[in-house]
Structure 1
Amino acid sequence: MKGPLPAQKQPLTCALLGASVAIVGLHLVCKPLALEAAMHGPDSVLIKGWYLDTDPQWEMEADWAYGVPAGQGGEFFGLPDPTSAATGRSVLGMNLDGDHSGDPGGPFYLRSPVVDCSEHSNVTLRFMRWLNIDWQPYMQAYIEVTGDGRTWIPIWENDCCTDIIESAWSLHEFDLSEFADGQSAVQVRWSHTINSGIWVYSGWNLDDIEFVGTPDSQVACPGDLDDDGLVSGSDLTQLLAHWGTDDPHCDLDGSGAVGGADLAQILADWGVCALP
């Protein structure tokens, strides 16, 4: 049995910290907004995006719906839905007129269409989220990805002992490169399973859903920092000038610091770049 509901819950969200959200494995990490633009690098492009100005016609089950959120729910547990989308008017979410159902069942899915990532690397899923849900095992919430339409891999799940209470939109990102790079049938799905004893909350709200990645034509020779088709002294000079910094262009391995691994990449690519 759950313990009593705390007299007051003060959600600590990344929005309150002036930060967006990144996901590393199954862990949530706040990122300062000032660094957000630098995280993708200059070569990242939009593969596919849904900004929900019109109904995207995604596969939806049970409480999942498309429309304008009504700012309802959260009367007893958590906080209400938003009164507007992150951008525009409409969202994808669970029961946009109040709390989600408390009837046990599921999993109930929201599925994206198939996205062709066959000519991209460093594929990333990003979206805006406003979420209020109970904790596991009462509410089991997952985000999963597939690269072949058959095997679904979880990339996020809610905690076992802490509910999620949000009062603002926040940006979330997931590195899908292990599962999506070079794949032609990539899909993502959000799911929830409701179990006995659940407290009902206002649920999921999603907006501005994007797949971004680097075109393969731009990653055939990552050591070519000056894009002249040749890895040479000028690229090495540029790397050394940013040694020890977090410069995203020279941080070839994405470690957060320009260092030995990036130098090794330069040396491995030395010479004329091969065509992709």
Structure 2
Amino acid sequence: MATQQFTGVRVSDKSSLDPAETARDITVLAERAGLVADDLLRVDGVGGLSYASGLPVEHVRALLRGEPVPGDEPGEPSDPVEARHRRVVDRILFLRGTRLKSHPDGQRRVYALGEIAAGAGTSAQWLDKMIKTGKAPNLDHAVGIAGFFAESIEFLIAPPAEALERVLQGIRNDLLERLVVAQDEDLRRLRNAGSAVIEPGLGVVDHAARALADVPDDMAQPLIALIEAVARRAREERAPEPRDAQDPDGTSDD
């Protein structure tokens, strides 16, 4: 059976991605969650956006400004196959340089090529040649290398904007989950406190909609939908148990 090649892997259309806009959404959500957006959007260091996306620091900063990464400007001539190969090799080298191995002496050092190659099901000689020639491995070996460093194949193959967007969407979704939990707790406190704390004429969902008025619709709507579901569940829990049909005088039909 023929080995599937890396060059046949399809990736998302990066033209539809906007990491700068997603970063702005994260800033709004972070403020509502009482967090510091700059901490979540830290670019360098372990766990920063560069580390998590596999992009150089200067590329991440350019994308956050809404600019193309250096060398990826529109209209710049480039061999797409060569560019994909270079991207995969660069990401492999990035992983080797940032995901270090702990040693008994307390030091952290790069993994030997033989260790990485064993994880990819190939040889150190082949891996060394791949790095020197800049030609990406086939898909099976690429998956093995990514897995050795506990990453998915998307880490190696995603174009710059997509690579950063994947990380930012993870941060954004975590913030939304935090806000959902916080809103659920607020609703529980409102139910326990009684109706005196709620403005007359407005329900819990109305109050939530007012509180989220300055949040973009695509972020606010999931929260409001959850609040509606919680409020509906609370009403159902307070509703009296259904009884058999009775006559006006209170006697059963039987």
TM beyond 0.5: no
| CA radius of gyration, larger in | 2
Say which structure is richer in helix.
2
